[in-house]
Amino acid sequence: MQWETVIGLEIHTQLATESKIFSGSSTAFGAAPNTQASLIDLGMPGVLPVLNKGAVRMAVRFGKAIGAQVAERSVFARKNYFYPDLPKGYQISQYELPVVGEGVVEIVLEDGSTKTVGVTRAHLEEDAGKSLHEDFHGMTGIDLNRAGTPLLEIVSEPDMRSAREAVAYAKKIHQIVTYIGICDGSMQEGSFRMDANVSIRPKGQVEYGTRAELKNINSFRFLEKAINFEVERQIEVIEDGGRVIQETRLYDASKDETRSMRTKEEANDYRYFPDPDLLPLTIDADFIAEVVASMPELPDARRARFESDYRLSAYDADVLTSSRAQADYYEAVAEAGGDAKLAANWVMGELAAAINKAGLDITESPVDAGSLGQLVARIRDNTISGKIAKDVFAAIWNGEGGADEVIEAKGLRQITDTGAIEALVDEVLAANAEQAENYRSADPAKQPKMLGFFVGQIMKKSQGKANPQQVNELLRKKLG
């Protein structure tokens, strides 16, 4: 039997607001437990939520980034369930009327073709706190710092057909939310969390199979592994004559497997109803226009602009716009360096290799965009050769100063004075008179290769600083 995989994703993005969605508490990560929990976050008797307009602005920005309808009127609802890190006994979320309606994103598949994935909806909600099971013997610690942090839950259509497609979609959403500045994208800190709904069906069948929801996936690599494991598991169940049951499964990265958390029968009845403490959220055209006017350039638009304005290949433009930080860095280098192509080569070549090796993010690079731009400019104006530039780059990386500083300090400026180069040429030819004679009598087809010997000798004598082009020209003239 040929099986087809069907995947839909629910992505929780933590919005990068300064304060929580319904209280004035800070959302900063890593504070001591319960130091960022106000009366509201603690769910004290008598407290009331007040919506943070900044969170709404970010939700609208996402909606407009994926071409979705932004609802004129949306409603906050209570999702009721008991858990110690859920202080009120309900989570304020959106249910029937979400703030962002249907939209689409385009993903690029491995074969270079593109695919459109539908986004069903995106809604605002508050995060829960954290239960801490370590360090408490026979007890559970509750940290409510995270309780009330704004989340935008982005729900896709079941449009993905493989783990790879799911990863491409998740990466695309990650790219969009970080580009438009509504989420820091950090997976370690839980700012970007993914749940996958996975089912299989015989190829050609229209109806969907029964799905399992995979939770606890905190990297793109684990997303791919979890889906692949789950697909294999479901195929095995069905081919062994069994039936897939609707359930929530937890992905265990250490064992690379999914295991059942709860079945549909055990699932909560959340008893959603409109939250009477909050008025329906109304968003007018002016508000949307204001958000659109302040919208940063989106990744797809920026990639297209890189291709046309900087004359970069599609591949280069894609790599350089993969993150907003990368694209910002590149543009700064290109502008300071005055050569877009050369800038691209350096950002994707020497710089990328160095930061990968050091395990750093581009925002943490010891060589800032200004310094690298200066280096590119010095290559372009022939102050240094491309080869010497690598040494200069290493020196900047090691904190020895900016490009010009290093070039001056180390005396790496290229020798372009014709008289000085001619003296070097004469010296080398005089010392190698025999080889010079051989050259002159040699077959013209072999001459270019033989010329390399003299060039090498001269570059060595100049410690690499002689302008190679001038050296070549003078040699040919003198040996001609």
And the tokens for 190?
A: 């839980």
Tokens representing 272 are: 């959603």
Nearer CB in complex with another protein: 159/275: 275
Query: Taking the CB of residue 458, how many other CB atoms lie within 10 A of it?
Result: 22
89 binds another protein (CB under 8 A): yes
Closer residue to another protein in complex, CB, 47/420: 47
Sorted by sequence, the CB contacts under 8 Å of residue 126 that are 6+ apart come out as 20, 21, 22, 91, 92, 93, 147, 148, 149, 150, 151
Q: CA torsion sign, 175 to 176 to 179 to 185?
A: negative
Q: 99, 60 in Cβ contact below 8 A?
A: yes
Stretch that binds another protein, among 63-71, 75-83, 349-357, 470-478 (CB under 8 A): 75-83
For residue 280, what is the enclosing H or E element?
A: none
Near another protein by CB under 8 A: residue from 67, 84, 349, 386: 84
Q: Select the span of 40-48, 115-123, 405-413, 427-435 touching another protein (CB under 8 A).
A: 40-48
- State the nearest-atom distance from the C-beta of 19 to another protein, in Å: 14
CB of 117 to another protein, least distance (A): 30
338 makes contact with another protein (CB under 8 A):
no
Cβ atoms of 403 and 371 closer than 8 Å: yes
Choose between 205 and 268: whose C-beta lies nearer to another protein: 268
Our finding on whether 314 is near another protein (CB under 8 A) is no
For the chain, the residue count is 480
Q: Work out which of 50, 109, 245, 423 binds another protein, going by CB under 8 A.
A: 50
Under rule CB under 8 A, which residues in 99-158 are in contact with another protein? 140, 142
- Nearest C-alpha neighbor of 107 from the set 25, 184, 9, 198: 9
Q: Does 44 bind another protein (CB under 8 A)?
A: yes
Q: Kindly give, in sequence order, each residue whose CB lies less than 8 Å from that of residue 278, ignoring residues fewer than 6 positions away.
A: 49, 51, 76, 92
Residues that contact another protein, how many (by CB under 8 A): 29
Q: How far is the CB of 39 from another protein (least distance, A)?
A: 6
Of the pair 78, 225, the CB lying nearest another protein is at 78
Taking the complex as a whole, the smallest distance from the CB of residue 102 to another protein amounts, in Å, to 25
Assign 50 to helix, strand or coil.
coil
By CB under 8 A, name the one of 20, 57, 61, 78 that touches another protein. Answer: 78
**Binding to another protein in span 262-301, by CB under 8 A:** 269, 271-273, 276-279
Piece of 11-19, 76-84, 229-237, 377-385 that binds another protein (CB under 8 A): 76-84
Q: What is the spatial distance between Cα 231 and Cα 223, in angstroms, rounded to a whole number?
A: 12
Residue 169 and residue 11 in contact, taking contact as beta carbons nearer than 8 Å: no
Residue 303 near another protein by CB under 8 A:
no
Q: Of 182, 242, 167, 251, whose CA–CA distance to 217 is shortest?
A: 251
Q: Looking at 3, 4, 29, 47, which residue binds another protein (CB under 8 A)? A: 47
Residue among 395, 428, 418 nearest 466 (CA): 418
Which residues of this protein are in contact with another protein, per CB under 8 A?
A: 39, 42-51, 78, 80, 82, 84, 87-90, 140, 142, 269, 271-273, 276-279
